[in-house]
Amino acid sequence: MALKVREYSPQEFLESRDAWNSAVQESLDNNVFLTWEWLSAWWKHFGEKRDFLLVTLSDNRRIVAAAPLMTSVYAIFGFRIRKIELIGTPASDYQSLLLTKRRPEYVRTLVEHAQRRVRHWDFVELSDIPEGWETSQMLAAALPEPMGFEREVIEVCPHVPLPRDFEGYLRTLNPHFLREIRRRERRLKEDFDVDFEVVEGSEGVEDAMQSIVMLHQERGLAKGHSGIFSDQSVLGFHLDVARSFAENGWLLVAFLKANGRRVAGLYNFRYANRVYCYLSGFDPGYSKYGLGSIIDLNLIEHCVKAGLKEYDFTRGEEPYKNQWNTQTRNNLRFTKTRKGLFPRLVKWVTRNDLLFGKLARFARVA
């Protein structure tokens, strides 16, 4: 049966929850950032100035491949840059296409269709695709360098494969590191009545998210910045995500409590036997206790006992992550630059991390 290429409008996508999630469940890179709940919430809060470009391949009965794309125009110092990129950029720690079969020609069809549909694009940029996932392998096979696509590592993502036995996991840790955590935990318990709390269902989700927001903002202020939730669009997005994820059993919020007060929190997603550690918050007044390592240890124990397979610290190679006997996966970026002086100049600038780091603060969606 011949496959049909189809574009979804935003409204059609909003009405396709069951069909989309059914295809995601069958996909080779099934992950929480590809779900209808994540993508629809992201589009609701950040899609206003972008053009929706979700392209699918179907056999009239079901979706067999899809590219959840969009067109974004960024303004930097008066210059306008038009990109074809994945919906969810840059909020999604991992991104992928929806592929139910290992067919590079499906990927080529989706991307080439998008390129034809968008006039005057400067870049195709598919970011944060984990190396080793089927999407990255199919992109490499379907869009090689002779076709103008380049591939580079942009992020390192530490993760912990979880064993069945928590005590066995503890034996893999550096003994000095583990003793230090236990020492800090004892000190905390000497000064306070300490509890570990987990919120996973819809009950209590509003209160839990209010605590996460407060703790994250307090931590940010202590470090001299406002925290991501000072942006009302970001706040609204995560509140919607938390509600829908909680209904599906995908939310996992953990707290460390001292004398009944939440003093540390982790905002995570539980999906397909993996925990995605997305965001944290701590009361700066308790910094001497090292709350981060204490709450991580408690949550890892909870995940092992729940039978989960991976504790994923997601993007960022912060030193503290390496102490948990982590493995790493690289996130890749696949890019194609349109011919012309201006796109190639921008490409050169973005390859210079120091310069781009300064310019990126001034980039705005136009």
Stretch(es) of the chain classified as CATH 3.40.630.30: 4-155+331-365, 163-308
Architecture of domain 163-308: 3-Layer(aba) Sandwich (3.40)
Tens-digit pLDDT profile for residues 191-232? 999 999 999 989 999 999 999 999 999 877 777 777 899 999
- The pLDDT, as a whole number, for residue 221 is 72
- The pLDDT, as a whole number, for residue 339 is 72
The CA distance from 180 to 101, in Å, is: 47
Name, in order, each residue with C-beta under 8 angstroms of 88's C-beta and a sequence gap of 6 or more.
33, 38, 39, 42, 68, 95
- The pLDDT, as a whole number, for residue 143 is 81
User: Omega into 68 within 30° of 0, i.e. cis?
Assistant: no
The residue to which tokens 């503890």 are assigned: 170
* DSSP assignment letter at 345: H
**CATH 3.40.630.30 holds for 4-155+331-365:** yes
- The pLDDT, as a whole number, for residue 195 is 98
- The pLDDT, as a whole number, for residue 347 is 62
- The pLDDT, as a whole number, for residue 321 is 95
- The pLDDT, as a whole number, for residue 267 is 98
The CA distance from 95 to 112, in Å, is: 19
- The pLDDT, as a whole number, for residue 356 is 44
Evaluate whether 47 touches 4 at the Cβ level (below 8 Å).
Answer: no
- Tokens for 258, please give them: 């001292």
Tens-digit pLDDT profile for residues 82-118? 999 999 999 999 999 999 999 999 999 999 999 999 9
DSSP letter string over 283-317? -GGGGGG-HHHHHHHHHHHHHHHTT--EEE--S--
- The pLDDT, as a whole number, for residue 357 is 44
The ranges of the chain with pLDDT < 50 are: 353-362
- Report pTM: 0.93
